[in-house]
Amino acid sequence: MNLAPQAARYRLDDDVILSEATAVQLKECLARLRFRRTIYVEWDFGSVDPMGICTIMNFYGAPGTGKTLAAEAIAGQLGMKFLSLGIAEIESKFMGETGKNIQAAFAAAREEQAVLFFDEADTLLGKRLSSVTQSVDNEVNAMRSTLLIELERFDGVVIFATNFERNYDAAFRSRIGYHIRFDLPDLAARRRLWDRLLVGKIPLSAARAQLIELGAAASDGLSGRELRTCMRLALPKALLAAEAGQDAPALAWEHLEAAIDEVRRAMADVSQPARSGGGLAMARTLLGVSSA
């Protein structure tokens, strides 16, 4: 397991485009983080609120809304390193090793003064099992108990991210200081996203401002990730059209509109199987143990 924190590549002010409601929540959280040590250490508020010195955030919302990017950008904004972990980084096929991996992750974040980020956190923070019938079930509960203990001991910044926030166990939910919802981009955010995606060197067949407005209006309900997919689809269309007409390539609204339609059609046609995040099956998968 790679537990080497990395320098954050992004900053919240410069690199993240969010809906207004999400941006306001993050700014309020950052204000608390800026003064955390003053309040809890220098002013000794930690003596009556020992859990408060560890800032625990939960980012929840639809896929592609910027949760992972925002987590790294918060580290960049705070001048801290970033340690990102998913299921692949902490799972183990050996009984007892997953809990040790969690302990090692907290130790590395503490030593390097890094923001610790857990993706797909519903698997880690799911409801603990009350009716234990197999040794693997004991292991699941032990893993989650280890995480609770490490959160109580940690004095840094932990961010969880999930698409399935309802699966969190109450013991974890109550320890999270900030639950921040990542909404799909509103109209203003979509304008800023299209403005960023239409990079300066792309030749355009219409006024840039017009394409931004048309794109923002036509892409309601799409995430930032899906808008980027639209551009990936539209740019080859412009080149193919130029090749067929023996003209100089230029991106037109018809290319963007066709790409947006393709993305919407794919979203409607491609169904994903329901995921039982936080359940026993997912926890067993995390631990690398077969239910057979």
276 lies in some domain: no
193 pLDDT more than 60? yes
pLDDT at 83: 96
Mean pLDDT of the chain: 85
286 lies in some domain: no
Which of 151, 168, 183 lies at the terminal end of a domain, its last residue?
183
Calculate Rg over the CA atoms of the chain: 22
pLDDT at 124: 76
pLDDT at 127: 58
Which residue is associated with the tokens 């809990």?
A: 99
**How far lies 229's CA from each of 100, 266, 268, in Å?**
39, 11, 15
- Identify residue 78 by its one-letter amino acid code: L
Angle between helices 208-218 and 187-197 (to 10 degrees): 130
Which DSSP letter does residue 48 get?
A: T
Domain shared by 151 and 228, yes or no:
no
Q: pLDDT digits over 213-225, tens only?
A: 999 999 999 999 9
Which residue is associated with the tokens 């250490």?
A: 41
pLDDT at 245: 87
pLDDT at 278: 44
Which of 183, 209, 231 lies at the terminal end of a domain, its last residue?
183
Domain shared by 171 and 191, yes or no:
no
Q: Are 248 and 242 in contact (CB under 8 A)?
A: yes
Of 28, 16, 64, 22, nearest in space to 186 by CA: 22
Domain shared by 12 and 66, yes or no:
yes
Q: pLDDT digits over 242-266, tens only?
A: 999 888 999 999 999 999 999 999 9
Domain shared by 146 and 228, yes or no:
no
Considering only residues 286 and 141, tell me which one the structure prediction assigns the higher pLDDT: 141
Domain shared by 19 and 158, yes or no:
yes
Report the domain count for the chain: 2
| CA 69 – CA 59 distance, rounded (Å) | 11
- Identify residue 138 by its one-letter amino acid code: N
Task: Give this prediction's pTM.
Answer: 0.80
120 lies in some domain: yes
Residue 1 pLDDT grade (very low, low, confident, very high; cuts 50, 70, 90):
low
Average pLDDT over residues 42-59: 86
290 pLDDT more than 60? no
The full 3-state SS of 88-131, as one line of letters, equals: HHHCCCCCCHHHHHHHHHHHHHHHHCEEEEECCHHHHCECCCCC
132 lies in some domain: yes
| CA 137 – CA 197 distance, rounded (Å) | 47
DSSP string, 209-253: HHHHHHHHHHTTT--HHHHHHHHHHHHHHHHHHHHHHT----B-H
pLDDT at 276: 41
Q: pLDDT digits over 110-136, tens only?
A: 999 999 999 988 777 775 544 445 555
CATH code of the domain in which 241 resides? 1.10.8.60
Average pLDDT over residues 77-88: 89
Which DSSP letter does residue 188 get?
A: H
Q: Which residues of 102-123 are buried (b: 16+ CB within 10 A; e: fewer)?
A: beebbebbeebebbbbbbbbbb
155 lies in some domain: yes
Do the strands 157-162 and 6-7 form a parallel or antiparallel pair, or are they unpaired?
Answer: unpaired
CATH code of the domain in which 70 resides? 3.40.50.300
**What is the residue range of 102's domain?**
6-183
